[in-house]
Structure 1
């Protein structure tokens, strides 16, 4: 970005920023001249307030403000109660209603003031409502800026843009924009052949903030439309939203720089250097980013799937650019890098369908009829709510143990997000109740001690037998 600033000394430019004594003196003179002019205009403005009709207009504005405050105090509680009944409203409409509730005083002040200006222009000379029109323009502009900056999510950036825009609007209404621009442009620094002023930096910040806010608004509206489309799979929805955000925010950034006069050809060299740095220093980050794109494209996992990775078992809460959020049954949220899901062995309990088969192993005594045991076990499993009846449970003998006949009971569920340990526990409890009701015994290891004929049982002095 270049301007018609004086060319800096080549020897000094090689060292970075330059600011000659002559430039500093010129800047001080410009600032002094502007300050003198502003003081003169302020003096004239204050003297003008002493005129009768100007004083009347100030009094009318104060009276309108008091009336707006009183009306806002009466209207805000009713609006608050009405908003609480709007349960079916979308989020953006609810937020707009809350913003109107918070800004009710300024809204009423602007409406009442414009009504007053219109009436006065109809019944008297326009000069007698000049100050009122300035105040009305100021109130309207402040109100618009307050609503527009709500699109900026970052609190600090929103505050900076809001007060910066309010200051600029105030200067514009008062006709002081040329002086302010000249004053900010006088504070500058040169980097080689590049001239950067405070005015240019301020324009860049405001322009980028506005474009980023607009990009965010478009992204939020489009994201809601994409997520409401049932024909798009969840993984493709996430991929489409991420791609859209990258495109919108990238376009807003480069367009903002271009509008304030930044030469984007210099960014080509910078992007090449950044690419080399990414290749060597950010291998893991890039690997996770690429792995995330692969996961979204091959649809191996998606939000809502139940997965197991090592000792971690839970359902996928969200897919990020760098990691996957997995929430376990105990409320812990694990952030698993995308690369681990690509290179590791992942059990997806709901990849192609939601059917999950669970096995329970148990044993009964040899004295119990195995045909009866199998039937009782199947009926007990069927009595549990989450066990599917369309895919009925089965029970098989899997071996003859040392002290029991061993069985496996298999049953199906369709809601692994509801937990696996708890459903196994419910089936075990149903087996216990069914076996107790039908006199089925569950053996456990027992030991018998026999005293052979001719053995002598002796008692030691401490009372112990030997």
Structure 2
């Protein structure tokens, strides 16, 4: 150890050496770029850019109109068409610049197309990266992966990747026996982003195939999709760590210790997760079923790992924990079949013939849309009330997702019209008010002093 140097200077010495090597390589590259014909090559590249810009501006509206007529295309084809429409100028630039480079290499010295070759390689790399990173859905991750990949490709084309990697390797932090360098962090981020993007694409593609398979029940489709997502994302994560060089043995010990601590704090989460798996396995509910749980009535929109999404008729979306569906009493209106029976009550006057009332009520219900005719309505007397003969009318429907209140209201309205047409009255309680003399007091002397005079 030199007594004239500080620990900080000794730590920065390797970094300084690598940076000097990178600067030397960059200076040599700059010297090559400043050779004769460099200006002419830049002017040629600029002329190519102007030409393809005008060409793309002329063809882009036609391509847009043509894409609008492709209504039967699947979504992935339309997405590719949209990307081509947006990157039409770059596509033309890559094609034309490579034609120019190949022609110049045939008719003149290779040094006179050196810069054009670099520009063509950079443009091609950028175009390829743009198409490849479309697999990443998250905009932030997509931009980071896009610009990071293009930066690395640019360094590779310029021939300074080794020097740049050496600089990034020299910037490191040592913790015990583990050395964490900036190069390791960058490589881990790029690999994980790429593998997760591939896993996401594979999961979405496989999920579409599973959903289109009519031989698999909806609940098993959800279970298969969730299981596939866990396998793909987990494999991508651990594979990325393994490729980076991370020791998974330490991760296993750490995950075991963390799992013990999280097990006590995440009991509800784990309970909901296990309950969700049980729901998917026993097929008690599935997407599209109409259920009632307490005051909540609606149809299941999706099954999640922690909750079930239930949408009501008024547009509210309830996220019901899976544990509540296991431990609570759930009414599944469409578990084994889609038939749902509804009951409505009404009464008629004692002067009306009950046989005629039952016949008219059944015919009125049959004429209402959504009421099943092959399971005909029935009407029965359920009691003799104070003011009316009480009836129950029962009918069946197969689309509870269309609402229950509205169909009941339509049947009531049909009954009203039928009873009015056949002179059948719907009685209501009547009250008689009898006014007694002396303001209701039998003895005038008992009248209260506070009562007003009439």
Structure 1 residues 21 and 266, CA gap change in structure 2 (3 angstroms): farther
CA distance in 2 between partners of 1:172 and 1:213 (Å): 23
Which one is further off, 116-125 or 33-42? 33-42
CA shift, 1:254, in A, is 0.5
Paired residue for 1:332?
316
Structure 1 residues 458 and 269, CA gap change in structure 2 (3 angstroms): closer
Paired residue for 2:400?
416
Paired residue for 1:285?
269
CA shift, 1:395, in A, is 0.3
CA shift, 1:28, in A, is 2.6
Deviations 1:45-71 (A, max 9, x none): 444444332222222111111222212
Residue aligned with 1:286, SS: helix
CA shift, 1:151, in A, is 1.4
Does the alignment pair 1:393 with 2:377? Answer: yes
CA shift, 1:112, in A, is 1.0
Long gaps (5+) in structure 1: 1-19
Maintained 8 Å contact 1:188/1:198? yes
Deviations 1:53-100 (A, max 9, x none): 222222211111122221221222222222222222222222111111
CA distance in 2 between partners of 1:456 and 1:334 (Å): 62
Maintained 8 Å contact 1:457/1:465? no
Structure 1 residues 465 and 383, CA gap change in structure 2 (3 angstroms): farther
Maintained 8 Å contact 2:29/2:158? no
Long gaps (5+) in structure 2: 441-446
CA shift, 1:435, in A, is 0.7
Match of 2:203 among 219, 225, 229: 219
CA shift, 1:463, in A, is 12
Residue aligned with 1:204, SS: helix
TM-score (norm 1): 0.90
Paired residue for 1:10?
none
CA shift, 1:44, in A, is 4.2
CA distance in 1 between partners of 2:452 and 2:316 (Å): 54
CA shift, 1:269, in A, is 0.7
Which one is further off, 127-136 or 353-362? 127-136
CA distance in 2 between partners of 1:21 and 1:217 (Å): 52
Which one is further off, 251-260 or 58-67? 58-67
Residues 334-353 of structure 1 aligned to structure 2 (within 5 Å): 334-353=318-337
CA distance in 2 between partners of 1:138 and 1:380 (Å): 76
Maintained 8 Å contact 1:278/1:286? no
Larger relative contact order (Cα-Cα within 8 Å, sequence gap ≥ 6): 1
Does the alignment pair 1:94 with 2:75? Answer: no
Residue aligned with 2:426, SS: coil
Paired residue for 1:7?
none
CA distance in 1 between partners of 2:365 and 2:61 (Å): 57
Which one is further off, 177-186 or 270-279? 270-279
CA distance in 2 between partners of 1:48 and 1:279 (Å): 62
Structure 1 residues 456 and 159, CA gap change in structure 2 (3 angstroms): closer
CA distance in 1 between partners of 2:18 and 2:365 (Å): 88
Paired residue for 2:415?
431
Match of 2:340 among 323, 348, 356: 356
Does the alignment pair 1:247 with 2:247? Answer: no
Which one is further off, 29-38 or 265-274? 29-38
Match of 2:103 among 119, 132, 139: 119
TM-score (norm 2): 0.93
Residues 105-254 of structure 1 aligned to structure 2 (within 5 Å): 105-254=89-238
Residue aligned with 1:345, SS: coil
Residues 250-261 of structure 1 aligned to structure 2 (within 5 Å): 250-261=234-245
Paired residue for 1:317?
301
Residues 5-16 of structure 1 aligned to structure 2 (within 5 Å): none
Does the alignment pair 1:273 with 2:296? Answer: no
Residue aligned with 1:318, SS: strand
Paired residue for 1:61?
45
Residue aligned with 2:273, SS: helix
How large is the Cα RMSD of the aligned pairs? 2.2
CA distance in 2 between partners of 1:49 and 1:415 (Å): 73
Paired residue for 2:444?
none
